[in-house]
Amino acid sequence: MKKIYLVPHTHYDVAWAFSKEDSLEINEEILKEVMKLMLVPEFKFCLEQTFLLQEIERRNPELWQGLKKMIEEGKLEIVDGQYLMPDTMLPTGEVLVREILFGKRYCQEKFGVEVPVAWAADSFGMNAQLPQIYRKAGYKWLAFSLNQSLSYIAGKVNTGGEALLAFNPLPWRMRNWGEAELKLPPGYESVAGIKERKEVESEVIEIGKSEEDKIEGAKIGFTCDLPPLGYKVYKLTPPPCHCEPKAWQAEGGIKVEGESIETPFYKVIAHKETGIIEVFDKEAKLLVKGNEIFIDDEIGDLYHHRARFADLIKSESGEGLEYGSFKPRSFRIEKGVLQAMKREVYFRETQFGVVPEPTEYFAGREKGFQPSGIPNFLSWFDLSDGIRGITFMNKGLPAILIKEGSIYIRLLRSVSGLSADGTAGPLVP
């Protein structure tokens, strides 16, 4: 006879579909029902986030005392014990450590409990540093969900765009032959190779050409050397760059005229009416135009941007932002940062270091091979081609978009629906 263990618990975000205050009221009602159920002798329950306990202590001391009594009797177990359950793929290492520090400290001071189980019921992935962080924080176990579908696993790997993903389901290192079909972006005059840190030897099996006799794709074969129960991500080798840096002969002096400042190397124009700044690098022939505000149409949900129009509603460099009667029902404000430059690879800050990633060339198959152009960085990233470039730095606004030679940072976004397809949550306004 099989024995089945059920672990009753609740997970309701403190701020997600509703406001923080609304979410706290919902959580309070849930915990009231939990208290009623725990009056049954055989019933036990798990609670994850200590922030909820802290708020219940402030909002409803009587309920908090009842929960404390259940914890002391072993009927209510605190799992995870972090301040809030973090998305471990996004915050910095300092944030992850402080989530545990503040949460576990509260559990020890209020209940005398040392939480041994890390709990990741609603985390969108695990970063490679978590084992060390959890071990040093005193956790003995980790509870998380595991799906056995290889396609599901592949979908969770952050390839930074379109790439070849080779996965080894066996518990030993495997070296085997693999084949893949590549769709090549414009700019390739010959069949591209693939690389995993360095270029991998590959064999061209088939070549696909357009009506204009230009190479559009190819089928290649190569040898995969994969770690046990692991994977490798292979990416296209970029086309050769034939550009060479040109020397600039300095003329000397600094010239200030109106809204512009010019040196032998740069010309900077600051438009006082809009705040738009233009910087022209004379040596690299690079024009950077920044701080321009755009208003875009928005009919998407919490996770996906969708627009009814191909063009922006307003741009600051055109007629400028209108005030008064101009009240768009749904909009997104962005700052344009970089123009007149395209690059295959940028360097970005991650949770624990710096990594190179492609910009617009790669995207997953679920997007129909269309480049997403949406990188994931924390406080900075660098976009350059070895000769010229720009470093972008922000403060608290990591969501950006790279599109057609421009870089955008989203300042404000308003949506009317939570999850249009219902897969990431209920379809609620």
Q: Are residues 135 and 156 in the same domain?
A: no
Has residue 260 been placed in a domain? yes
pLDDT of residue 121: 82
Has residue 227 been placed in a domain? yes
Q: Using one digit for the tens of pLDDT, what is the confidence trace for 135-153?
A: 999 999 998 876 555 677 7
Q: Are residues 396 and 262 in the same domain?
A: yes
Has residue 419 been placed in a domain? no
Q: Are residues 232 and 134 in the same domain?
A: no
Has residue 12 been placed in a domain? no
Which of residues 126 and 319 earns the better pLDDT score? 126
CATH of the domain at 111: 3.20.110.10
CATH of the domain at 193: 2.60.40
Q: Are residues 86 and 171 in the same domain?
A: no
Q: Which of 144, 176, 193 is the last residue in one of the domains?
A: 144
Return the minimum-mean-pLDDT range out of 171-175, 176-180, 270-274, 323-327: 323-327
Check if the beta carbon of residue 281 is closer than 8 Å to that of residue 289.
no
Q: Mean pLDDT over residues 227-239, rounded? A: 80
Sequence letter at residue 362: F
pLDDT of residue 367: 40
Q: Are residues 202 and 125 in the same domain?
A: no
Domain membership of residue 118 as a residue range: 20-144
Burial (CB count <10 Å: 0-12, 13-18, 19+), residue 427: exposed
Which of residues 52 and 170 earns the better pLDDT score? 52
Has residue 60 been placed in a domain? yes
Return the ∠ at Cα 266 (arms to 260 and 268), rounded to 5°.
25
Number of domains in the chain: 3
Percent of all residues in the chain with a pLDDT value above 90, rounded to a whole number: 23
Has residue 45 been placed in a domain? yes
Return the minimum-mean-pLDDT range out of 30-39, 165-174, 244-253: 244-253
What is the rounded CA–CA span in Å between residue 211 and residue 198?
33
Q: Are residues 35 and 116 in the same domain?
A: yes
Q: Are residues 292 and 409 in the same domain?
A: yes
Which of residues 126 and 99 earns the better pLDDT score? 99
Q: Above 50 in pLDDT, residue 26? A: yes
Q: Are residues 227 and 260 in the same domain?
A: no
Which residues on neighbouring strands pair with residue 358, listed in sequence order?
Answer: 345
Q: Are residues 276 and 207 in the same domain?
A: no
Has residue 398 been placed in a domain? yes
Q: Are residues 190 and 206 in the same domain?
A: yes
Q: Using one digit for the tens of pLDDT, what is the confidence trace for 255-291?
A: 888 888 888 888 999 888 788 889 998 888 888 888 7
Q: Are residues 314 and 398 in the same domain?
A: yes
Percent of all residues in the chain with a pLDDT value above 70, rounded to a whole number: 74
Strands 117-120, 141-144: pairing is parallel
Q: Are residues 230 and 355 in the same domain?
A: no
Has residue 407 been placed in a domain? yes
CATH of the domain at 264: 2.70.98.30
Return the minimum-mean-pLDDT range out of 179-188, 329-338, 379-388: 329-338
For the question of whether the overall pTM of this predicted structure is more than 0.75, the answer is no
Average model confidence (pLDDT) across the chain: 77
pLDDT of residue 239: 62
Q: Above 70 in pLDDT, residue 321? A: no
Cβ-defined contacts of 103-107 (< 8 Å, 24+) = 103/49, 103/50, 103/51, 104/50, 104/137, 104/138, 106/50, 106/53, 106/54, 107/50, 107/78, 107/81
